Amino acid sequence: MHVAENHILEKAILDMGIQTLIWQVTKKAFTGGIIGLTISDRFCSVVPVRGDSMSPTFNPQRDSYLDDYVLVDKFCLKDYKFARGDVVVFSSPSHYKERYIKRIVGIPGEWISSTEDVIRVPEGHCWVEGDNKASSLDSRTFGPIPLGLIQGRVTRVVWPPQRLRKLGG
Amino acid sequence: MGIQNLLWQVTKKAFTGGIIGVTISDRCCSVVPVRGDSMSPTLNPQRNSYLDDYVLVEKFCLQDYKFVRGDVVVFSSPTHFKDKYIKRIVGLPGEWISSSRDVIRVPEGHCWVEGDNKASSLDSRTFGPIPLGLIRGRVTSVVWPPQRVSKIS
């Protein structure tokens, strides 16, 4: 009887230990998840590049198994002054849930020559174009975009390993 | 050694609490002050800035919500992207808005915003329709001062 009581006691303590362990692991996982979210929102995140509108800078091949993954820096949203040549991620002005990656080729106040006329980039906006002009949906179609749509600046390619490099400028 | 351990525990808790607070503020909701009287009398009916309203801005709407006419939203200014305005959506994509001299169609992916106090409001009548991507959140209720606590329709 003494031994049976000991067994029950040991089992109860073991159960509590496992419960505590699961709780500890859950807390750590939750905290880790929240920290990961904050880092992704405010510091930097890695996103895949789809399509070939930025060929040959990104996705020089058409095979989507070899899509580039790039590091997008979000610090620039606080103090940075966007410069010509920066590659940025922005929400589409016509479909706000979609995001595009293009290069800034015109900053506020500059003149851009379009197909038929010359356009001045308004205050607070920028003119974006893809490097592969033949296959790019950009400001030549939807006009200059407000800087408020920009969600981050691409700093480097992180995948695949043979294409690892910093973006110039 | 006990005090060091205590300090470390407190620091860890404070840091975690701070991170969780930032995440909640970015993705769930935050409280912001309303400046100016462009949304009078809905917000800031007096001109005294000591009595500025503080409103609850919910961010869940940025994921799945379809904005409707009448929503009061916070958005980045199209001309000065670091400034944020609070105005009401009065036109959705595809609708026609009559401006001072002509009739404008709200383009796909954009909305037409105006302040409730039309005499004193810098809004779409000046800077045109704004892309929905500039919206940062939706105002749901006034949380301060206590006598003005109410939901915004």
Distance CA A119, CA A143 (A): 9
Backbone angles phi, psi at B74, to 5 degrees: -100, 130
Q: Is residue B4 part of a domain?
A: no
CA distance A49 to A16: 48
B38 is catalytic: yes
Task: Mark A64-102 as b/e (b = at least 16 C-beta within 10 Å).
Answer: eeebbebbbbbebbeeeebeeebbbbbbbbbebeebbbb
Domain contains B16:
no
Please check whether residue B103 lies inside any domain of the structure: yes
Q: How far apart are CA B132 and CA B109, in angstroms?
A: 6
- Assess if residue B5 is contained within a domain: no
In-domain check, residue B131: yes
Residue among B79, B80, B109 minimizing CB distance to A92 = B109
Question: Which residue type, as a one-letter code, is found at position B45?
Answer: P
The answer to whether residue B78 neighbours chain A at the CB level (below 8 Å) is: yes
B37-64 average pLDDT score: 80
All residues of chain B having their beta carbon less than 8 Å from the beta carbon of residue A41 are 23, 26-27
Tens digit of each residue's pLDDT, chain A (169 residues): 567 777 887 777 777 788 888 999 998 898 888 888 888 888 888 998 888 888 888 887 776 667 788 888 888 777 767 888 999 999 999 988 899 999 999 989 899 887 778 889 999 999 999 998 888 999 989 999 999 999 999 988 888 887 787 876 4
Predicted local confidence at residue A38, as pLDDT: 85
B109 → closest Cβ in A37, A38, A94: A94
In a domain, B49, yes or no: yes
Whole-number pLDDT of residue B86: 94
Count of domains for chain B: 1
- Domain coverage including residue B94: 30-151
What is the domain-level CATH number for residue B128? 2.10.109.10
When mean pLDDT is compared across A49-63, A149-163, B9-23, B64-78, the lowest value belongs to A49-63
Asked whether the beta carbons of residue B81 and residue A148 sit closer than 8 angstroms, the reply is yes
The pLDDT of residue B62: 79
Structure tokens at A91: 């929400």
The alpha carbon of residue A150 is apart from the nearest alpha carbon of chain B, in Å, by 9
Question: Inter-chain contact B79–A122, Cβ cutoff 8 Å?
Answer: yes
Cβ-defined contact of A91 to B108 (cutoff 8 Å): no
3-state SS, residue B83: coil
To which residue do tokens 């590659």 refer? A87
Structure tokens belonging to residue A70:
């790039």
**Closest-CA distance of chain B to residue A113, Å:** 21
Residue B61 lies in a domain: yes
Which phi and psi angles does B18 have, rounded to 5°? -65, -45
Question: In this complex, is the C-beta atom of B16 within 8 Å of any C-beta atom belonging to chain A?
Answer: yes
Q: Is residue B67 part of a domain?
A: yes
Q: How far is B134 from chain A (nearest CA, A)?
A: 6
- Rounded distance, CA B115 to CA B121, Å? 5
